[in-house]
Amino acid sequence: MASEQSSNNTTSAKVVYILLIISTLIGVTGIIAIIMAYVLKDDSPEWLQTHYRFQIRTFWIGFLYALIGLVTFGIVIGYFILLFTVIWFIVRCTKGLKQLENNQPVKNIESWLFA
């Protein structure tokens, strides 16, 4: 029963990562993902909580980067900031998924870069 619960928690974390990646194309999935991460993080094992905290940080930092990109879009640099944000977002989620697949906690939750 405990391994089944762990598998369910892992599946939920995978779904959150996938929703975050999809949010680069369909923004509303990011809102669903962040709500799921906030709801699920407290009832998960400690190593899995690192993934939920990482997902939450990825969402909010990505939101900040995108906002800066949108504000500066009138000048050329905004385009590059938005492009960087999309790449950064996908790389962070992919690295998190890889660590999740190996049943490992996220190694550097506090990172603002690629982790």
Region class of 103: left (phi > 0), else alpha (psi between -120 and 50), else beta: left
Find the helix or strand (DSSP H, E) in which 71 lies: helix 46-71
Query: Using one digit for the tens of pLDDT, what is the confidence trace for 32-82?
Result: 999 999 999 998 999 999 999 999 999 999 999 999 999 998 999 999 999
**pLDDT band at residue 92 under the 50/70/90 scheme:** very high
Distance from the Cα of residue 58 to its chain's centroid? 4
| Token digits of residue 44 | 């998960």
- For residues 114 and 25, which has the higher predicted lDDT (pLDDT)? 25
In angstroms, the CA 54 to CA 111 distance is: 9
For 4, residues 6+ apart whose C-beta sits below 8 A from its C-beta are none
Q: pTM score, two decimals?
A: 0.89
pLDDT of residue 115: 63
